[in-house]
Structure 1
Amino acid sequence: MDTKRTETMTRQKKIIISVTTIVAALFLIGSYFVGNYFIEYMLGRKDSDYDDALSPSYDKPAAEVENRQAANLAVAKLQAEVGFDEVYIQSRDGESLYGKIYVQPDSNLWAIVVHGYTSTHNSVQDVATEYYNRGYNVLTPDLRAHGNSSGEYIMLGHEDGPDIVEWAHYIDHADASIVLHGFSMGAATVMIAAGEDDLPENVVAVIEDSGYTTAIQMMKEQLKFRFGLPSFPIVNISNIISIVKTGLNFNDPKPIESIQNCDLPMLFIHGDEDNYVLQYMQMELYNSYQGEKDFLIIEGAGHTAGRYLVPDIYYTYVFDFLDKYVQ
């Protein structure tokens, strides 16, 4: 009797172990495929011209649409009347990086304006126009794996920050005063650049618009917002795949830590209707920063859309801030 009971219990244990093993294997296999899809979705190269394409639920107000159209006309006018130069530099790890430059022959003021995630330099030509019309030379680069720059996978600012440092060194003018102005992932990029030890001393101020605190926190928010999925184990497994496949560790891009190695004046801008990089990240960045700083919250603005919704307020705030530090 005891022998039969023991045999039955043994069979039951084997069945439980087998079922558990199969379920665990299926779970891991499923997580791998989801994680691999997540890598291609998040980091695969795909170029567009507008960061706010990433906020599909954002319904643009009529004023924003009209102001965007007016900004595009101003860009067309600048390019027709002034023209631009196109240049390439090489990154530290051998990637070819493209930039478009508007030159003011008699000015020592420079702005490096950096586009966002899956966008290109074209998406910030309106900002370049504003800087140019105020007397700045302007450089608008394509980040690696975007636009005309080489690279297979998006690095979420980790390699892009050092790339912007290289662009700042490219501006080979001893008396130049350089401003870094970035949007979305470009904002994360300029914050990371600001914390690099070899950033040129003639970089004098940073404007970050809609940047995130850390890449991994932004990813977790996106999994929840876009897919209704928990971050564990998808982000964890995706990170392992990413390290092997792309070389990017999700834990590395940490703008909130980079800016602790920086003392440049910094302006933090965000729209309170941003559903891509949530607005609370702005205040976490602002509150953590120990240098000279200011912030602007734009009511009703979606992701990187403040400059279109209320351009007068946006640019007045930006240039009033810069006028205190740029000479």
Structure 2
Amino acid sequence: MADPTQHLVPCSNGDVFVRTWAPPEPTWLALVVHGYGEHGGRYHRVADQLVAEGALVCAPDHRGHGRSPGERVLIDDAERIVDDLEALHARLAAEHPELPVVLIGHSLGGMFATRLAQRDQEQFRGVVLSAPVLGTWHVLDLLENTQLPDTPIDPESLSRDLGVGRDYVADPLVWHGAFKRSTLMAIDRCLLAIHEGPQLDLPTLWLHGEDDELVPAEDTRTGIDRIRGRNFHEHHYAGARHEVFNETNGADVIRDVVAFVRREISR
């Protein structure tokens, strides 16, 4: 397992902490967009597998997440997170103009990746959405409470590999506290903006576990049906929970991603 290079990168709203895994001769670039409360370092296994397939993998920590500065998990405007991703992509594209770029967004990162792709679809060769928060999300029901309850994520809901949940709980860079009202309101506004935005006509792959309780596939589909374009593919995995990349069949999931990417970058 190769260690990534790690550095702070100036983006639209200040510095963002970025991890990069690089093969000797990359043939494509994967920009990995992590989910709520976690960080890019949790994608080291995904990065290792993608590097073996020729990918230069870049995984930033969103502002207020992981090693990036900012109040923990505070998102006052989701568009600012997307601004940072857009600035990072522009930097990567300038450094590696020969490499096709694929967005890979998980959970809330799938929402950010979708919004980024909507801004300028010509900049990306494809988008991979893993259990994306799109359409409706039951967590937003918490906004009906005067005071938000502390509802921690059940670690067993992440994967049938219970070691994934144990590592999640023990990770000091993961946020284990309550949701913040402004963050949930920002997510709600972003979902509406996506619904009102353009369809994704660039190649798009949707991955989802059929036993995902954190982001149920049927809720996501209400958003997918709004944005799906002409080059859309999906894979649903029986028995899989929220983090399909970290599931017991994670190798199959990566193979599906690689097959999708290879097909699209060869065109």
| Same fold per superposition (TM over 0.5) | yes
3-state DSSP of counterpart to 2:2: helix
Residue 128 (str. 1) matches residue 128 (str. 2): no
SS at match of 1:325: helix
From the superposition, tell whether residues 326 and 218 of structure 1 become closer, same or farther in structure 2 (CA, over 3 Å). Answer: farther
Q: 1:209 aligns with which of 127, 130, 137?
A: 130
Q: Which amino acid aligns with 2:37?
A: T
Q: Deviations over 1:232-261 (max 9, x none)?
A: 46499xxxx956xx7964532117427625
Give the alignment partner of residue 177 of structure 1, picking from 83, 89, 100. Answer: 100
Larger radius of gyration: 1
Shift of 1:285: 3.2
Higher helix share: 1
1:4-83 to structure 2, matched below 5 A, reads 77-79=1-3
TM norm structure 1: 0.62
1:253 aligns with 2:190: yes
Q: Is the 8 A contact 2:117 2:200 kept in 1?
A: yes
Counterparts of 1:309 and 1:285 in 2: how far apart (Å)? 27
Spell out the pairing of 1:132-211 with structure 2 (5 A cutoff): 132-152=51-71, 153-155=73-75, 157-171=78-92, 172=94, 173-197=96-120, 201-211=122-132
- SS of 2:213's equivalent in the other structure is coil
Q: Distance in 2 between matches of 1:87 and 1:324?
A: 32
Which residue is 2:30 aligned to? 111
- Structure 1 CA distance for aligned equivalents of residues 41 and 65 of structure 2: 11
Give the C-alpha shift of residue 191 in structure 1. 1.0
Alignment partner, residue 166 of structure 2: none
Distance 1:250 1:181 in 2: 19
Structure 1 runs of 4+ off > 3 angstroms? 231-236, 246-251
Please tell me whether residue 287 in structure 1 is matched to residue 207 in structure 2: no
- Please report how far the alpha carbon of residue 88 of structure 1 lies from its aligned counterpart in structure 2 after TM superposition: 1.9
Pairs within 5 Å for 1:269-308:
269-288=207-226, 289-305=228-244, 307-308=246-247
- Alpha-carbon distance in structure 2 between the residues aligned to 1:217 and 1:174: 37
- Separation in structure 1 between the aligned mates of residue 236 and residue 124 of structure 2, nearest angstrom: 25
Q: In the alignment, which residue of structure 1 is the partner of 2:10?
A: 90
Say whether the 8 Å CA contact 2:202–2:229 is kept in structure 1: no
Residue 299 to residue 158, structure 1, CA distance change in 2 (3 Å): farther
Distance 1:233 1:86, change over 3 A: closer
Paired residue for 1:323, among 238, 262, 266?
262
**Structure 2: gaps spanning 5 or more residues:** 149-179
TM-score by length of 2: 0.75
CA distance change for structure 1 residues 232 and 106 in 2, over 3 Å: closer, same or farther? closer
Displacement, 1:299? 1.1
Q: Which runs of 5+ in 1 are unaligned?
A: 1-76, 224-230
Aligned-partner SS, 1:116 = coil
**8 A Cα contact 1:272 1:300, kept in partner:** yes
Change (3 A) 1:235 1:205: farther
Where 2:215 maps in the other structure, the secondary structure is: coil
Following the alignment from structure 2 to structure 1, what is the Cα–Cα distance between the partners of residues 27 and 187?
38
Deviation at 1:314, TM superposition (A): 0.8
Q: How many residues align?
A: 229
Q: CA RMSD in A?
A: 2.8
Distance in 1 separating the partners of 2:129 and 2:260:
12
Q: Give the letter aligned to residue 90 of structure 1.
A: P
